[in-house]
Chains A and B, each alone.
Chain A
C-alpha cells in the first residue's frame, strides 16, 4: 500500500519558485503538465507523470461525460487566451512610489510584472477561472512581494501602514470563496503578499511532538519534510498539494484524516501573526489555557482581514506504521448515512470515511483507468454481478463509502473489522481496497476534470456545509433537488449533474459536499446562471439547517449570509476586533464582514 498521502507519486523536490506560473497553469487547476484531454480516438487521457492516473487512458469517461451532460466532443469551448497570458490586457499597476522606494531599500523581492500580478488575483471559483479563460481581468494587485521570513513581513506591514497601502496575503491561491479577488472599489495600491518563500520547518520538538513551521509552507512539502524525520501532521485537506499552512489557519481548514489528527484548530499549538498593531502571539505553548476567549480564534478564520500568519507551532505525530484503504457498498444512500451515523455514535470512525451518493459512484466508475488484464475485468464483472444480481442492489440506488485506516497494523485490522461489522448491519458489503484507494485518488484529479469540462461547455463547482445528523438525508435530497429545479427554471437546456457526498463525521453531525455541473450550451451568460443556482443552493442549505461553510470559508462569496449566521452581536464583535487591529483597513481584501 502506498503511504504517500493521496497517492501523489514522484513528488518533486522543488521549493516553490517565485515564478509559480512556470510550473502551474495560470488559468486552470494545478500543474501545467497535468491535464485531461480527449485523444484522437475520443478516449480521455490524463497527461504528465505526477499522479497515479497520469499517462493512463480512461475509457469510460467519454460516455459518462456525454450521457451525463448531453455534451458532445464536437462542441468545444477552448480557453480563448491559452496558454500564454497577454500582458497588455492587464491594467497597468497603480504604484505607491514612496512605499515602493522604501520597500526596495529593504531588499525584499518584489515585482509588478503582469503575469505575477494576474496569477495572484484570483482563487479557483468558477467565475474566476471562467473569466481568465476568456482573457478577462478585473482589478488585479498592483505589486507582488515575497517576504522571506517573519521579520520581512513585519517590515512590509509597517511600510504598508506608513504609506497606506492595501495588503492581501497570498498563500497557495486555492481559495474558493472569492477571498483573493481585489475589491474593485479599492483605490489604494494593492500589494499581494506572497508567503511562498517562508517555507521552512524551523524546529521539531520530539519531546512535545510539535514542529515550528513558517506559514508559507505548502501542505505536500510539510508532510514530505516531516516524513523525512519520521513524523507527519496528518493534516490533509484536498488542496494539500498547493495550499499553505498560513491559508489553513486563516480559513479554519479541515483535513481528510481529521478523525485521527483533528482539524486545524486542534493541531495548532501556537501562532504568530503580524498585524498593523504589531505582532500577536501567546507567551507559552501550554496545551490548553483558560485565559479568556482564545485569541487564536480571532486569527483562525480571519481570512486575511487582520494580518499575516507568519509562523505556526503544530502538533506532529510519528508516521503511521500501517495504512489500509477500504470500501463498502450500500444498497442505498439512506443506509449509508445510517451506517456513518452509527460509526460516529460509537466513535470508531477510521482516519477517513466518506460516503458517495449514487451519481458520484457512477462518476467514480467512469474514471476507472483501462484495465490491463482480462482477469481484472473478469473480476470486476463478477463483483458487479454479485452485488446487483445476487445481492439485489439496484445499480441506480446503491452507493459506496470509502475508508482509510491508519495506525499500527494490529489495531488497524481490528478497527477495520469493527467498522465492517457495523456496515454489515446496514446492508453494507465490503467492496475492496482498490475502490477505496481510487476514491481518494479522485480527490486530487477532480479539480483537473473541471478544466476538461470547460473545454466542452460544461461548468461546475463543489461547495460544502456541515449539518446535524438528523438533517443529513434531508439536506442532501433537498439541495440536490433544488439545484435541478433552479437549473430548469433558469433555462439550462440539459439536466445538470447534482450530486453529493458525506465527507466527514462528527459526534453531532457531518460535513456534506455537493458537486454541481451543467452543460451551458444555449445560455448567453452561463456564469451568471451558475451563480444564481449556487446562490439558491446555499439558501437551501441554510433553510435545511446547514452551516454557511464547514471549511471553505466565507470570503466575499458568502458574506451576505454572515449576519444571519452569527447574529448582529456576533458581527459587532468581529467588527470591533477588526477596527482595533486594523483601523485603516490595511488588510483590505474585504472578506468575511
Chain B
C-alpha cells in the first residue's frame, strides 16, 4: 500500500550542483599546438604498477581465468590447446587498445580546432574534475558517460587530457573499427573494440571480461563505457545494459580490489550533431554504415552553430557502499574465483538496480537549455491545434509566457536548467529559437514547426506533385521527431508527476488507492520506455505526490486527490506530455490485435506496425506523428513481451515468431485508454 510507505523526500530544489567552466575559452586565447604538446603528468592510481599495453595482453592471456576457459573449450571442441590459445590471442589482438599519448596529442590539436568551430563553449564542472582526480588516486575508476553522440568519447578524452587526468580506455562497438584509418586512430587514443553480439562464445567473453578486469584491477587507466550500450537516438536515457557493469563490479565482489568508483558523467548538447540523422533512422531510413568517407561528408556540419556542451562529472559512487547489506560476498568463498560462474539472482538484481541508479544520476545532472522547454510547448501546441483543426502555430509572446511558466515549474521539480537570467525572457526565447532554425520558423511574430524545409526533400528537377502524402508525412515526422528528441531531454524531470497526472486522468475515481493502482499500471507499462528504477513504485508515487502537492497543483484530502484551480494547467501539461506514448502503446496493441498476420516475426514487426500507423495517421485516426518512432514501437513490444501478452517463439522454423495473446493485449489497450479500470487482478498479474 502506497500510503503506508515511509519515504523521506529530498527536496529537488535543494539539489546542490557545481559551477561550470568553459574550457574552450582558453583554447581561443592560446596556441593549440602548445596545448597539444604541453607537459602532461596525470595523477595515477596509488597502487598502480606501471605496465605497457603489450604487457597487459600477456597478463590477460596468462591469467587463470582465461587458461581455465581455454582448457574448457579444448575439452568441448577437441581442438588443440595452442590452437585455442592462438584464437584467444587473435581475439585480444582485435580487441585491444594501443593507447599512446602522441595520438591523444594529435586529437588534442585537431579537436581544439573542430570544437572551436562547432561549439560556442564546452562547459565542465571543475569540482567534479577534482573529485574524479581524488577517486582515480584512491580506487580503480569506471567512467560512465551518457551517450548522445559519436562525439562523446573523444570529448571525454579531450577533457581528461585538458585537466591532466588519467586517460581512459574506452569500450567501443566493433562498427567503429570498420572505419579503416579512424578505427586505428581511435584505438590509439584508448578505444578497445567489442563485437556487438557474441552470445554463446565462451572464449570471446572470457578474453573480453578478463581484459577489462585486468585493466581495472591494476589501475592501468580508468575504464570508460556507455551504460546505455548505444547512442540514444531519442535523447531519452536508454534502459541500461548490464554486461560491462557486471564485469567491472566483479573484482570488487570477489575481493580483488577494495573498492571501485563509478563516476556517472552527463554530457548535454545544446544541439545534437546527429539530430536529423537520428530522426530518419527512427523512421526507418537505415543507419548509414560507419565509414571514413561518411565521416568526411559530415563536414558540412562544420559550418553550423551547435551551441554549447555541458559536461557534468557526477559524484563518484562506491561499489562497496552500493553492495553493503545487499550482496553476501561470502558466496565466492567456496569455488575458486577464476572459474567463470553465471551471476546469481541476488547479484543480477544488485547490478540491475545499481545500473538504474547510475543512469538516474546521469539524468539528474543533464543540463537543460530553454529550447528543451520550447520544444515541449511547441509540440503540444502543434497537436492541440491539429485537433482543433486550426493553423498549427502560436504567437511568440504566448510561447514566451508559457516558457516562463514552464521554467519555474521545472525548477521546482529540480531541473538543472540553464536559463539565461541576465536577459529578458523574450530574448532568451528568440535566441534559442534561432539556434534551432532548422526546426522552427518565425514569421510575423508567430512560431511554427519548419515543415517545408524538412531536409530539402524535394530534389531540384523533381516536381512537387510527385510527393505522395506518405512522403510528406515522413518529412514532417523528421521535424517532429527532432523536436521530440529535445523534449525528451526534459522527460525525466516531469516523468513521475506526469505518470501521476495521467493516472488521475485515467483512474476510475480520485481515491488515492485507485490512483495508485493506475499509476502502478502505467509505470509498469512504461518501464521499457523510461528510466524507472525496478521496485521503486512506491517511492516514485510518493515523489510525484510530493511534487504536485508542494507546487500547489494537488491536494490530498482524506485519501482523495483534488486538483486545485491552478493545478489544471500543470496537470494538463503533464498529461499531454505523456499522451503520445499512451496513444502509441495503444496503437501498437491495436495493430497486434487487428492487423498482425499469423507468423509475424520480430524482424517484420517494425515495418508492419509502421505501415499500420502511417495508415492511421493519414486517415486521421491517430494524431501523433511521433508514434512513427521505431524506438517507441520496439519499447512497447518489449513491454508486451515482458508482461507476457506477446510471446516470442524460440527454435525451429518459427524462430522469432510473435504469438499474440489477443485477450490480454486488448485488455491492456483498454486499460491504457482508461476504458477499463486498473483491476487489482491485472495489477497483480503484471
Contacts and interface: CB of A to CB of B under 8 A. Distances in A.
A510 B328 CA distance: 23
B258 A545 contact: no
A477 B328 CA distance: 19
Nearest to A334: B49
A474 B259 CA distance: 12
A474 B330 contact: no
Contacts of B256: 474
A560 interface: no
B255 A545 contact: yes
B522 to A, nearest CB: 40
Contact of A543 (B259, B329, B336, B337): B329
A408 B351 CA distance: 59
A470 B337 CA distance: 9
Interface residue SS majority, chain A: helix
A478 interface: yes
Contact of B258 (A478, A542, A564): A478
B390 interface: no
Contacts of A475: 255
A220 B556 CA distance: 79
B336 A474 contact: no
A361 to B, nearest CB: 18
A272 interface: no
| B328, B330, B332, B336: residue with the most chain A Cβ atoms closer than 10 Å | B330
B333 interface: yes
A549 interface: no
Contacts of A478: 255, 258
B258 A477 contact: yes
Interface string A476-511: 011001100000000000000000000000000000
Contact of A481 (B258, B328, B330, B332): B258
Interface in A543-557: 543-545
Nearest to B254: A474
A58 to B, nearest CB: 31
A411 interface: no
A485 to B, nearest CB: 8
A471 interface: yes
Q: How large is the interface on A (under 10, 10 to 19, 20 to 34, 35 or more residues)?
A: 10 to 19
Contacts of A542: 330
A470 B255 CA distance: 11
A564 B330 contact: yes
A545 B329 CA distance: 9
A543 B258 contact: no
B539 to A, nearest CB: 26
A564 B332 CA distance: 14
Contacts of B329: 543-544
Contacts of A474: 255-256
Contacts of B258: 477-478, 481-482
Interface string B299-337: 000000000000000000000000000001110110011
Contacts of B259: 481
| B255, B256, B328, B336: residue with the most chain A Cβ atoms closer than 10 Å | B255
A198 to B, nearest CB: 41
Contacts of B336: 470
A315 to B, nearest CB: 33
| A477, A543, A564: residue with the most chain B Cβ atoms closer than 10 Å | A543
A532 B334 CA distance: 27
B318 to A, nearest CB: 10
A44 B337 CA distance: 47
B60 to A, nearest CB: 18
B84 to A, nearest CB: 24
Nearest to B253: A543
A177 to B, nearest CB: 21
Interface in A190-212: none
Interface in B321-364: 328-330, 332-333, 336-337
A470 B333 CA distance: 11
| B256, B328, B336: residue with the most chain A Cβ atoms closer than 10 Å | B256
A470 B330 CA distance: 15
A3 B337 CA distance: 44
A488 to B, nearest CB: 12
Interface in A366-382: none
Interface in B462-480: none
A481 B259 CA distance: 10
Q: 5 tightest A-B contacts by CB?
A: A543-B329, A481-B258, A544-B255, A545-B333, A474-B255
14 contacts: A470-B336, A471-B255, A474-B255, A477-B258, A481-B258, A543-B255, A543-B328, A543-B330, A544-B255, A544-B329, A545-B255, A545-B332, A545-B333, A564-B330
Given A470-B337, A543-B328, 5 more contacts: A474-B255, A544-B255, A545-B255, A545-B333, A564-B330
